[in-house]
Structure 1
Amino acid sequence: MKKLFAALIALTLFSVSAYSQSGLGIKGGVNLTNISTDAGSLKNNISESLDTKTGFAFGIWGRIGDKFYLQPEIMVATKGGKVSVTPFGGGSPELVDVKYTNLDIPVMIGFKPLGFLRVMGGPVASVKLSEDMKLRDALAEYTTNTGEAFSNSTWGYQLGAGITLLGFDIDLRREGGLSDINIMNFNNEDKFSQRPAGWQLTLAKKIL
């Protein structure tokens, strides 16, 4: 299902590019992310860490328009962060390194105030491709959940700016979450809430 969804989006991008003057391109770069944690009544046992995790991002983009433009993208992105977990019954907190991989589908609305400068923003739909189980394992004493820790689909946003230099597009975007990524529930406790935030720096090249 995930592969079919990605294939349909890819076909849409190629079709859009064929009928626009802006074309199609490839891009890649890095993500710097952390996870904002609101654990409700578990806040003394689970908290966020300001440490960031470095991941990668790569994919394709299509652009419709010039001065004002619409830019859908398909990106494979690794993200994560660190969460501080205190063992059940007390003890020294453990810093858990969290990692997951998404298929991100941003739809950016952009504006070019200058020929080489762009500003953009828009929603991002994310489909989870994989996750490690470190967070679920670290929280095993707090929950009977034996499945995955993160939701299969979430919503977020990106806001940023970019420049065109020597035929390449360089973009810096701020990323944030609009929905919880964590789906774990805890015995006699509030739902565990987590949202990602961070920065993405990419280098893009038009190919069609």
Structure 2
Amino acid sequence: MKKLILAALVFCGGTAIAQSTYGIKGGLNYGATGEYENFSQVAGDASSIEDGNNKTGYHLGIFGKLEFLGIFLQPELVYTNLNTEYNNFDYKIDKIDAPILVGMNLLGPLHIKAGPSFQYILNNELENSSFKISEVENEITLGYQLGAGINLGRLGFDLRYEGAFKENNAFGDAAADTNFRIDSRPSQWILGVSYNLK
């Protein structure tokens, strides 16, 4: 009986210490996708390689958070718009991000967090160009996010870096005689604002 009471007290105490919240989030992202590579029609070798220029995009989504003794788990579901500028066109990606972050509270309202981020590409297209592009090799990829933030009451602010582990190429439409590839991996900074609903 004593063990049962002790177990109940530990459970109740743990439940009281653990805190769960959820809310909405959004903000701006600034970055680019990977290299644009234009192949020679004759030799089949790369005739030119170009890095993309950073542009501003945005993101909107929801999050949950379970915190226990200063350590928290924060899964999210976020729609992200990512833009990259190359010399002759812009490359646009719309995707769903599902990061699962583990974090730790530091001094006062400050915290750090990092974890894997699953990405599902909804759409990739070229703008300001007559070129045609294929779908990316893999619609679902795995990347990572890491960053730091601050909580002020129900409001939260954080800055993260997002990257990817391996290439995920989209190719030019061979039928349209456009022989190129673009590495769709994101490399971007994410500035977010969140609001706790609970």
Query: CA 1:147/1:185 → structure 2, altered by over 3 Å: closer, same or farther?
Result: closer
Residue number in structure 2 paired with 1:91: none
Query: 1:45 offset after TM fit, Å?
Result: 2.2
RMSD over equivalenced CA pairs, Å: 2.7
Instruction: Please tell me the residue identity of whatever aligns with 2:86.
Output: V
- 1:71-86 to structure 2, matched below 5 A, reads 71-84=74-87
Instruction: Please tell me the residue identity of whatever aligns with 1:165.
Output: L
Question: Is 1:181 paired with 2:148?
Answer: no
Residue number in structure 1 paired with 2:95: 102
Q: TM-score, normalised by structure 1?
A: 0.71
Residue number in structure 1 paired with 2:120: 127
Question: Is 1:61 paired with 2:54?
Answer: no
Native 8 Å contact 2:136 2:184 kept in 1: no
Instruction: Please tell me the residue identity of whatever aligns with 2:185.
Output: R
What does the per-residue CA deviation read over 1:108-161, in whole Å, with 9 as the maximum and x for residues that have no partner? 0101112300100111101112222449953x6xxxxx6324641121111100
Instruction: Please tell me the residue identity of whatever aligns with 2:84.
Output: G
Query: 1:65 offset after TM fit, Å?
Result: 1.4
Give, in whole Å, the separation in 2 of the partners of 1:78 and 1:57: 6
Q: TM-score, normalised by structure 2?
A: 0.74
Partner of 1:36, secondary structure, is coil
Partner of 2:33, secondary structure, is strand
Percentage of matched positions with identical amino acids: 30
Consecutive unaligned residues of structure 1, counting only runs of 5 or more, are 1-19, 85-93, 141-145
Consecutive unaligned residues of structure 2, counting only runs of 5 or more, are 1-17, 40-44
Residue number in structure 2 paired with 1:152: 139
Question: Is 1:34 paired with 2:38?
Answer: no
| Counterpart among 177, 193, 197 of residue 203 in structure 1 | 193
More strand as a share of residues: 2
What does the per-residue CA deviation read over 1:36-71, in whole Å, with 9 as the maximum and x for residues that have no partner? 2174942x423113x211111011111111411110
Native 8 Å contact 1:174 1:200 kept in 2: yes
Native 8 Å contact 1:136 1:149 kept in 2: no
Residue number in structure 1 paired with 2:3: none
Instruction: Please tell me the residue identity of whatever aligns with 2:95.
Output: N
Give, in whole Å, the separation in 1 of the partners of 2:181 and 2:23: 41
Name which one, 1 or 2, has greater alpha-carbon Rg.
Answer: 2
Residue number in structure 2 paired with 1:47: 50
Partner of 2:188, secondary structure, is strand
Residue number in structure 2 paired with 1:171: 158
